[in-house]
Structure 1
């Protein structure tokens, strides 16, 4: 194990598409914030979360026939999108819908990683 030189933290690369840097975890092309951001960053983080959920919804919509409950997964993702348009999104509602989506997409590793990253972001942001 290499000795720590006391210099700046350049993050941790866990191999593959996983990278941990300060309070952010990047999985493939998804990012999860692991600690609450400063209030000034919160709005930007929620905007990024909205984008991530929009992309997830599009991905589920385009491949819904690959999943046993494809139509329900798309509907749940649409509920998440709608909740994120509220002035104050409800954390429990978001986690409930994401909790429905997560087991339904386990057969697709990239989508499952995206859902996990979104769940982590919701947990830390709201």
Structure 2
């Protein structure tokens, strides 16, 4: 991947069905911008972020025994999902839990990419 600001950056393929390209988040075949332009766009982006967090939780639950701290990682992903159900999710809370998950899944490139993509979306949205 190119360094931030490089002219040939083609976005982030986070693995699975998640992709971030510039200010757009794509989960499965749906896409939503994560710019702070219009409220409906923000709501759509948050809905996509919720879907990405749900997929992450499913991946962690399915592969829980492959991680040294599998139980704790699942718990952290559950906290991310719960925080995203709030009317106004708290950015720092989300980033704290995602920051815990990231190093724990670093050996699994696809899951680590998913975590990084979700962190980027949280930073952009909140």
| Fold match by TM threshold 0.5 | yes
Partner residue of 1:27? 14
RMSD: 1.9
Q: Which residue of 2 aligns with 1:54?
A: 54
1:71-86 alignment, distance < 5 Å: 71-86=71-86
SS at match of 2:19: strand
What count of residue pairs does the alignment treat as equivalent? 107
Partner Cα distance (1:26, 1:91) in 2: 23
Q: Is the contact made by 1:54 and 1:81 (CA closer than 8 Å) also made in structure 2?
A: yes
Runs (4 or more) in structure 1 with deviation over 4 Å come to 33-36
Q: Compare CA radii of gyration and give the structure with the larger one.
A: 1
Q: Which runs of 5+ in 1 are unaligned?
A: 1-10
Q: Kindly indicate whether the alpha-carbon contact (under 8 Å) linking 2:91 and 2:123 is maintained by their aligned counterparts in 1.
A: yes
| TM norm structure 1 | 0.78
Structure 2 stretches of 5 or more lacking a match? 1-6, 24-33
| TM-score, length of structure 2 as denominator length | 0.78
